[in-house]
Amino acid sequence: MTKSVEEFDAVIIGAGFAGLYTLYRLRELGLRCRVFEAGEGVGGAWYWNRYPGARCDSESYFYCYSFSDEILQEWTWSEKFPAQPEIERYLNFVADRLDLRKDIKVASRVTSAIYDDAALRWTVSTQAGDKVTTRYLVTAIGGLTATAPNLPDIDGLETFEGRWYHTGHWPRQGVDFTGKRVGVIGTGSTGIQAIPVIAQQASELTVFQRTPAYIMPARNAPLAPHEVAEIKGRYPEIWRKAKAHRGGQPYDPPTLAFADVDECEARRLQEEYWQRGGLRVVQLFNDVYSNPQSRAFTEAFFREKVRQIVKDPATAEILEPKGYPIGAKRIALDSQYYETFNLPHVHVVDARSKPIRRVTPAGIRAGDRDYPLDIIVFATGYDAVTGPFRAIDIRGRDGIALADRLAEGPRAYLGMSFAGFPNLFAVSGPCNPALSTNVPVSIEHDVEWIADAIAHCEANGVRAMEPTEEAEDAWTEDTQARIAGTIFEQADSWQFGSNVPGKPRRFLLWLGGLTEFRERCGAVARAGYEGFRLTR
Ligand code: N01
């Protein structure tokens, strides 16, 4: 007897910030939903990213959902910058509070989603053996995830006699570095968070740095009860500001230009911001990215800070950010990163002048030296944005493979839909601003827009909705056009896909900012879903 295939109105892939909220909104529409999640619990990126020191660079009070007053009032953040376990606990709290678990199947990695042109339905299969059909398919798979790590193809890794880990796929039970000689490859946001924590246990820590990052002190601290009460009391204002901000943050845009103050005052202000900590240090001047003088001043300030903190001049010189403009790669927040290099057992290798040649059974060979290691940590990032889509076999009308379409570079309409893939919606897909913003605010926007689009289909007898090729082409071209002349062109980064050998150098994010994005998507909906083909 053949097993009957379960039918859903909506299948959602992923149970992180995006998937949980999508489930909530689509259930509110009365749809029968199923979430498939690869991890053994909810959390998405915050389930997998449990490497030492994993923490959010956005402040906790606005790195969360805004849609529920009850959740905002009932949940209390303990720190200014929340660590991974607390964010994972928060997402579990939300899942329980909204009774979401009954529609979530964990430990079920989606392997394929195949569209049936005749039935206008998707068939979704998982590694756990599920096979279901659905009318709507929503991907909530994130853009920087364990499904698509960037693991450099370094000769000899298979011969290594120690253990190695990628930060995006960290063992749940943790890793004990006590007494171990550890090598960390990569000094992006992740490496910068992990290195000071690993250094506390390791007997010897060697950091292989190819490009020095621009780094600001987080100055993380516990949140006092009076601060929590003050935040909870002004949430309406916080969200009004965040949603009117191009980066989804509740900050006033900087009004000061570099030329407004003399150099002495500029230094005083910069120092004040540095002492306060957080990403705002770089937001002192409104022309830091556009005025070469403003930029040069800010970059020099950062380099001077490294020389002040790091005692050994040769080490400081390697760590000083240089070679590309500030902001062209993501700026990182640290807790004791530079100070860590003052410890006698911590060393940095300039992997630009002494490239990693191979992994040997005993460690890493870089330049003409061998570094004996017990553990190698790859903090080498992700095959971002298109990688997670390409990891699933998604086939649309006429069997076209999304992986093939995205192999040539990012493309999508409104960063949320693909021509040839009816009723498939992507939260924070390619050509979307989300990863250049405070992500939960972007996610809420996308989920609400998608839920409205689905409600429109349900109310108007629309059986299938997909963007036209022309609309997708125009949005994709606009995504690339917005990069021209910006500082982003002057660095290799995951945003460009240039961190992954062979990946086309095409910008993955739409840079218009969240406010313009909100207006553009709203206008499309108000015009009866302009740019979409609606099949009744
Ligand atoms: O990855 P990255 P990440 N040999 O790609 C180096 C988000 N995030 O995981 O710059 C030697 O930024 C590479 O060197 P280079 C955030 O959006 C958020 O750190 O290519 N080195 C670089 O130093 C972030 O931007 C939070 O020259 C190699 C590093 O590895 C994104 O995730 C916290 C190499 C990779 O840096 C990715 O950050 C953490 C090789 N073969 C991360 N290959 C939050 O706060 C790569 N590298 C929410």
Between CA 175 and CA 163 the distance in angstroms is 10
On whether the CB atoms of residues 25 and 448 are closer than 8 A, the answer is: yes
For residue 452, the model assigns a pLDDT of 98
Binding site membership of 151 for ligand 1 (Cβ less than 6 Å) = no
H or E segment to which residue 375 belongs: strand 375-378
Closest C-alpha to ligand 1, atom 5: 381
Closest C-alpha to ligand 1, atom 13: 186
Between CA 7 and CA 3 the distance in angstroms is 12
Looking at the CA of residue 54, tell me the nearest atom of ligand 1: 33
Binding site membership of 61 for ligand 1 (Cβ less than 6 Å) = no
* CA distance readout (Å), 466 to 66, 443, 469, 532: 29, 20, 9, 5
The alpha carbon dihedral of 517, 522, 525, 527 has a sign of negative
Is beta strand 121-126 parallel, antiparallel or unpaired with respect to 110-116? antiparallel
Spell out the residues 6+ positions from residue 260 whose beta carbon is closer than 8 angstroms to its own: none
For residue 2, the model assigns a pLDDT of 56
* CA distance readout (Å), 18 to 282, 330, 448: 29, 22, 11
Place of tokens 């490497």: 51
Other C-beta atoms within 10 Å of 473: how many? Answer: 14
For residue 515, the model assigns a pLDDT of 96
Place of tokens 């199947």: 105
Q: How many angstroms does the Cα of residue 337 sit away from the middle of ligand 1?
A: 15
Binding site membership of 531 for ligand 1 (Cβ less than 6 Å) = no
Task: Measure the CA angle with vertex 511, ends 426 and 520; round to 5°.
Answer: 65
Q: How many angstroms does the Cα of residue 185 sit away from the middle of ligand 1?
A: 10
Between CA 250 and CA 123 the distance in angstroms is 41
Left, alpha or beta for 352 (phi > 0: left; psi -120 to 50: alpha)? alpha
How many residues can be counted in the chain?
536
Binding site membership of 187 for ligand 1 (Cβ less than 6 Å) = yes
Closest C-alpha to ligand 1, atom 28: 186
Q: How many angstroms does the Cα of residue 526 sit away from the middle of ligand 1?
A: 39
Q: How many angstroms does the Cα of residue 101 sit away from the middle of ligand 1?
A: 33
Q: How many angstroms does the Cα of residue 158 sit away from the middle of ligand 1?
A: 23
Closest C-alpha to ligand 1, atom 11: 210
Task: Measure the CA angle with vertex 169, ends 332 and 279; round to 5°.
Answer: 15
Looking at the CA of residue 154, tell me the nearest atom of ligand 1: 41
Binding site membership of 144 for ligand 1 (Cβ less than 6 Å) = yes
On whether the CB atoms of residues 398 and 420 are closer than 8 A, the answer is: yes
On whether the CB atoms of residues 212 and 332 are closer than 8 A, the answer is: no
DSSP conformation class of 55: B
Per-residue model confidence as pLDDT tens digits over 14-27:
999 999 999 999 99
Binding site membership of 476 for ligand 1 (Cβ less than 6 Å) = no
For residue 278, the model assigns a pLDDT of 86
Between CA 66 and CA 88 the distance in angstroms is 17
Binding site membership of 188 for ligand 1 (Cβ less than 6 Å) = yes
Closest C-alpha to ligand 1, atom 29: 186
Residues in the chain, pLDDT under 70: 1-3
For residue 3, the model assigns a pLDDT of 65
Binding site membership of 498 for ligand 1 (Cβ less than 6 Å) = no
The alpha carbon dihedral of 324, 326, 329, 331 has a sign of positive
Ligand 1 pocket mutation, candidates 63, 145, 190, criterion most atoms within 8 A of CB: 190
Nearest to 280 by CA among 291, 269, 267, 290: 269
Other C-beta atoms within 10 Å of 515: how many? Answer: 15
Q: How many angstroms does the Cα of residue 95 sit away from the middle of ligand 1?
A: 30
Per-residue model confidence as pLDDT tens digits over 454-463:
999 999 999 9
Binding site membership of 384 for ligand 1 (Cβ less than 6 Å) = no
Binding site membership of 166 for ligand 1 (Cβ less than 6 Å) = no
Task: List Cβ<8 Å contacts ≥24 apart for 263-272.
Answer: 263/297, 266/297, 267/301, 270/297, 270/298, 270/301
Nearest to 195 by CA among 338, 8, 44, 332: 338
Closest C-alpha to ligand 1, atom 37: 381
CA 379 centroid distance within chain: 14
